[in-house]
Amino acid sequence: MNLSDSEIARLEADRPPAAGLGIAIDRLVKRFGERQVLHGLDLDIGAGEFVAIVGRSGCGKSTLLRLLAGLDEISGGGIALDGAPPQASRDDARIMFQDARLLPWRTVIQNVALGLRGDRAEVRERAERALAQVGLADRADEWPARLSGGQRQRVALARALIHRPRLLLLDEPLGALDALTRIEMQRLIENIWRQHGFTAVLVTHDVSEAVALADRILLIEEGRITLDEPVALPRPREHGQPAFAALERRVLKRLMSVDAINTRNRLPGRIVDIAVGCPLSEVRIETAAGIVTAVVSTRGLHEQPLELGAEVLALFKSNEVVLASEGEAAR
């Protein structure tokens, strides 16, 4: 499971050129009934690239992955995997789910060999090799119920790899694992990716996982890509490195501010009055919708001084909005 650097170098030399699948997504739209999840998403992923997609729950990242896997129908726009629609490239793409989804009534090795056709002995040998790759050769004939969560995900990985996919889609496959097992699995996935050269798309909640694995980190908000950050750190990456931590912090900060930057909640305006008080001060802002008063701490005002007439953005948080009729508002 742990490959030395020289072995990796040798494997990389062996790697067949263009083993990965190139992805071109053009104004992709997905609707579930009335609800639109993806709003004209554009994205290109190069062959062999490792892309991580982060975003809040419900932002559409898993939907995008399912569309890439050909599991759902697209509502508009297009996806091309090396020029072909996802349904046509089904044999080239494999998906790993958050839960391993092993068949409990098949042994580990039967699960790995699922969907393989051909000579029995040959299939068994291939499955054994795939299991050895994820370090579980000795558990081949056990029931999945006997394995730990991390081992089940490794079996699921072997099951995906046995088909020699050109595109591996990972839908938060490590989300349910403990921290240590997760880092182990990240190493394993990275090694196997370098060895096979497939294109990998990882959906994750965990920014540090994205930084550890990806060539590129994408942030999806409200069904659009709002951040496309290349990760130029050398591999294998250590979680403690300063550059690693700095990038992780940057992406995390961007992710946390998603709510505030929502375009529907902002009002551009100009500061017309600052009333300094203690401990709170009031800043009055003239916007297209009228005068808005923001209450800020006086301490915060000292740290980030504002000037009269400065152009600012007034942002709303939905939990502080009170609706009133016009008569009440006048009072």
Is residue 256 involved in binding another protein (CB under 8 A)?
Answer: no
- Of 103, 179, 260, 261, the residue at the interface with another protein (CB under 8 A) is 103
Total residues interacting with another protein, rule: CB under 8 A: 21
Q: Evaluate whether 216 touches 228 at the Cβ level (below 8 Å).
A: yes
Q: What does the alpha-carbon distance between residue 74 and residue 309 come to, in Å, rounded to a whole number?
A: 48
Q: What does the alpha-carbon distance between residue 31 and residue 204 come to, in Å, rounded to a whole number?
A: 22
Q: Residues 105-144 vs another protein: string with x where CB under 8 A?
A: xx-------xx---------------------------xx
Long-range contact set of residues 274-281: C-beta below 8 Å, sequence gap at least 24: 274/301, 274/306, 274/308, 276/301
Residue with Cβ nearer another protein (72 or 82): 72
3-state secondary structure of 176: coil
Is residue 88 involved in binding another protein (CB under 8 A)?
Answer: no
Q: What does the alpha-carbon distance between residue 136 and residue 34 come to, in Å, rounded to a whole number?
A: 46
Residue with Cβ nearer another protein (104 or 327): 104
- Region 156-175 residues binding another protein, contact defined as CB under 8 A: 159, 163
Give the nearest distance from C-beta 170 to another protein in angstroms: 13
Give the nearest distance from C-beta 76 to another protein in angstroms: 23
Helices (H), 197-297: 207-213, 242-256, 258-261
Is residue 233 involved in binding another protein (CB under 8 A)?
Answer: no
Q: Evaluate whether 48 touches 216 at the Cβ level (below 8 Å).
A: no
Is residue 90 involved in binding another protein (CB under 8 A)?
Answer: yes
Residue with Cβ nearer another protein (148 or 298): 148
Q: Evaluate whether 108 touches 146 at the Cβ level (below 8 Å).
A: no
Give the nearest distance from C-beta 104 to another protein in angstroms: 5
Q: What does the alpha-carbon distance between residue 161 and residue 168 come to, in Å, rounded to a whole number?
A: 8
Tell me which residue has tokens 């709303």: 316
Is residue 239 involved in binding another protein (CB under 8 A)?
Answer: no
Is residue 286 involved in binding another protein (CB under 8 A)?
Answer: no
Give the nearest distance from C-beta 114 to another protein in angstroms: 5
Residue with Cβ nearer another protein (103 or 179): 103
Is residue 94 involved in binding another protein (CB under 8 A)?
Answer: yes
Sheet with 311-315, edge to edge strand ranges: 290-297, 280-287, 266-275, 311-315
Residues at the site binding another protein, with contacts judged by CB under 8 A:
69-71, 90-91, 94-95, 97, 99, 101, 103-106, 114-115, 143-145, 159, 163
